[in-house]
Copies of this chain bind each other. A is one copy, B any other.
């Protein structure tokens, strides 16, 4: 059981406050919908058995008032958080450009740090923080929570268990049409832009799934709504074995392409949206020498003719079982030394370096030989 204090109780921090205090781990306890609602599923750990929300702190007076109204204990200052010997873990949910300084101060004060994404704005900053963590013997744990998104875990299962044979191409997208919301998301100095906002998750997941070097990458960024930061990007990566990945974030897309599209030797899978609408199409071995040309636009095509129905079967997406609170649990277990760390700073460092390479590619129009 560890004591945790949340620093920064805006959008994400307030979610953590509800998530930890309710034990549900569900940051959306206050935004109930059909799929959430703050309930603890049978497969989820009750967070109250692992950590105690000791208090919160924010530099804005209005947020401190909000916290008191909701019954959360408040600290008077960041110094006061660090000075409290009962605090084991500081959760940083402050703007991206403050992570470095606050993390280093907390580590030097003998606290473990649980840090919202992107962990740092640059790989250099993360290297510096990792160095301080090493010196102080404290844990710096980046919150890459989207490794426990059900859509991702489904794709990971298809990949790991070769449900459709060997995967040779994976596409991961998120599309919105609202541009970049918020007050600092368009500012470069604050760590704005979609690469750092969503890219950090989508890239982390694909690198987590595929245990290979990235040998080549090419990135195209968009600047539809502003010039300072990317408001979207398309990143193509080629891994050592030839496996291809495409990662795309768009904020000016009025029609959503599927969240996931996977092609493998014996079939394809598609996940359309976060409701997990989707399917797998799986080849049934047999005679396929029956292609009849079809009319396609102004011409005929045999190559693109559809399959005979008895040579393919439609399957539902596989089901996955997981502890939705695994990240919080692993944080505490890592701090207590009772489990292997799942989210490693080295992994996040690799993601940050890859994002830097991608943004460089977008700027120069050149591919980057990444880990060749």
Chain A residues close to B by CB (< 8 Å) = 11-12, 15, 27-28, 31, 33, 35-36, 145-146, 148-152, 168-169, 174-178, 180-182, 185, 194, 197-198, 215-216, 218, 220, 222-224, 234, 236, 238, 242, 244, 246, 250-255, 257-258, 261, 263, 265, 267-270, 274, 279, 281-283, 288, 291-307, 312, 324, 361, 365-367, 369, 372
Contacts and interface: CB of A to CB of B under 8 A. Distances in A.
A234 B244 contact: yes
Given A33-B295, A177-B312, A367-B365, A236 B254 contact: no
Contact of A150 (B181, B258, B297, B369): B297
Nearest to A216: B365
A150 B295 CA distance: 12
A317 B292 CA distance: 29
A274 to B, nearest CB: 5
A366 B257 contact: no
A215 B365 contact: yes
Contacts of A269: 255
A15 to B, nearest CB: 6
B36 A295 contact: yes
Contact of A145 (B216, B224, B250, B299): B299
A33 B33 CA distance: 47
Contacts of A274: 294-297
Given A177-B312, A274-B296, A296-B274, A255 B238 contact: no
Contacts of A253: 263, 268
Nearest to A197: B303
A296 B152 CA distance: 11
Nearest to A222: B168
A185 B303 CA distance: 10
B238 A365 contact: yes
Contacts of A148: 297-298
Contact of A176 (B168, B224, B303): B303
Contact of A297 (B146, B178, B299, B372): B146
A65 to B, nearest CB: 21
Contact of A236 (B149, B218, B294): B218
Question: Top 3 closest A-B pairs, CB basis?
Answer: A149-B297, A216-B365, A254-B281
A234 B236 contact: yes
Contact of A367 (B218, B300, B303, B307): B218
The winner among A269, A270, A302 for most chain B CB atoms within 10 A is A302
A254 B242 contact: no
A288 to B, nearest CB: 7
A176 B366 contact: no
Contact of A218 (B33, B145, B218, B283): B218
A192 to B, nearest CB: 11
Contacts of A194: 303
Given A178-B302, A257-B257, 4 more contacts: A177-B283, A220-B238, A234-B236, A365-B369
Given A178-B291, A178-B307, A236-B234, A300 B255 contact: no
A31 B293 CA distance: 8
Contacts of A292: 31
A28 to B, nearest CB: 5
